A and B are shown apart, each in its own frame.
Chain A
């Protein structure tokens, strides 16, 4: 079971990042979440969602989804910009089990862009 992405449902509101960040820090920020909204190519409107797990990253790219091993992403670089806390040092998704609740990113998304499978 993991959180997956329907990338074309996403409208880039960042509520998933906020909810995940709150799960980890009990505060609102865009730096600690296991979910990262990729929005670094704004002029192209190229936007996606990345979810970090223990083993890999789930990439919800506009052209389709993919899973990428952490080693691969290290070579290619990812994370949406220099000051975006690099994805590799972020928390890994625990499906919110440590808080005893359903995955908050899935619950909070207004457009069903995230789901469990």
Chain B
């Protein structure tokens, strides 16, 4: 299957360090469905190895609006149940372009390793010198080793190595939406990082139809900057106004018309546009929920952002960490690192003023912008076809157009009820 699903499924056996590439069969797609549905089937096939499955959706990496989404699937140390967390920013698309749509990582390694996926090649590499580094140091070290600054690095910090149930994997420097402690599963496997870089090419079955269809959807797709639009109608506060004095620029995930991610600078002036000698001027805030918790707790923006940076560096779940910190706002930025070091992990993930309980397979990364059934369907559709569920809900985009793209992309006919059926 080489239409949209570029390359093979990779099986990584961590106890031996060996890898095997298995052709992604068309039967996998027709019997189980694409994206997360295929990932769950692969998980079940290899369940005896307590795997983590890294995967991407059918449209991930294309011009379909918000087609940034990949995923990590595994048994959550928090619930003991199967859970999925997002690969956002450029990591989902980069994974697909690396030549692997699905990667099954089985067993535990006897020593620290990291997985390097690039151009259809998979290497299990020694991570002895990375072990003990925080996620910023790990990202820098991997990129330096590869001589390439565009490598996407999904890594764990000290929290994941311990492995703490408060941990989360981080995407490059900026944390992630991992609220299921899958970072701790990486730590238990002695898997320090998965590094991704791809110069591959994704083919559509009917390329012109696909491209014109995607462009048509994009022409009507709402575009915005900041978090407020993605939190409309829920009790998240004015996150954009709170961050405004620190805002440098807004950043999109791959192929997304919305630029929710907000880069804030507090180690140099936010309006400084040149590349200066300040190597670490600030933080890309990627999660509305963590910001919302700190805002609701009365934190000022600068110490709050420093606290989010500390959590991202340590590889701590920013949502649960921020919720725990929210009740004790700090004014002195120097105190935030100590406060982060003292986190107990006693809080569940969730949103201020909303239902805070984890919702089975999906964590609360996606804001509760709709009733539970609609929210669940958006998550299912998003992870199956590779479209950010937050964008689906916040933009109000009709899914029929996206399902039409699945047809021209790979001849896959889908509708909401079919997607729901993949999870029954």
Total interface residues in chain B, CB < 8 Å:
52
Establish whether residues B199 and A11, one from each chain, have CB atoms under 8 Å apart when the complex forms: no
Instruction: For B259, list chain A residues within 8 Å (CB).
Output: 11-13, 111
> How distant is A58 from chain B, measured CB to nearest CB, in Å?
17
Establish whether residues B149 and A31, one from each chain, have CB atoms under 8 Å apart when the complex forms: no
Total interface residues in chain A, CB < 8 Å:
38
Closest chain A residue, CB of each to CB of B225: A11
At the interface, yes or no: A90 with Cβ under 8 Å from chain B? no
At the interface, yes or no: A46 with Cβ under 8 Å from chain B? yes
At the interface, yes or no: B201 with Cβ under 8 Å from chain A? yes
Establish whether residues B150 and A28, one from each chain, have CB atoms under 8 Å apart when the complex forms: no
> How distant is A19 from chain B, measured CB to nearest CB, in Å?
6
Given known pairs A11-B251, A22-B63, A111-B223, the reply for A45 and B284 (CB within 8 Å) is yes
At the interface, yes or no: A88 with Cβ under 8 Å from chain B? no
Instruction: For B208, list chain A residues within 8 Å (CB).
Output: 26
Instruction: For B278, list chain A residues within 8 Å (CB).
Output: 44
At the interface, yes or no: B215 with Cβ under 8 Å from chain A? yes
Given known pairs A29-B97, A110-B218, the reply for A18 and B255 (CB within 8 Å) is yes
Establish whether residues B215 and A45, one from each chain, have CB atoms under 8 Å apart when the complex forms: no
Q: Interface residues, chain B, CB within 8 Å of chain A?
A: 61-63, 90, 97, 118, 136, 146-150, 172-173, 197, 199-204, 207-208, 211, 215, 218, 221, 223, 225, 248-257, 259, 263, 265, 273-276, 278-282, 284
Inter-chain pairs besides A45-B284, A80-B150, A108-B215, 4 sampled, C-beta below 8 Å: A27-B201, A27-B207, A28-B202, A62-B249
Instruction: Jot down 28 A-B pairs with beta carbons below 8 A, ordered by A.
Output: A8-B273, A11-B225, A11-B250, A13-B253, A13-B257, A14-B255, A27-B201, A27-B202, A28-B62, A29-B97, A31-B201, A39-B150, A40-B149, A41-B275, A42-B172, A44-B279, A45-B251, A62-B249, A81-B148, A81-B149, A82-B147, A83-B118, A83-B148, A83-B150, A84-B148, A84-B150, A108-B215, A110-B257
Q: Interface residues, chain A, CB within 8 Å of chain B?
A: 8, 11-15, 18-19, 22, 25-31, 39-47, 62-63, 80-85, 104, 107-108, 110-111
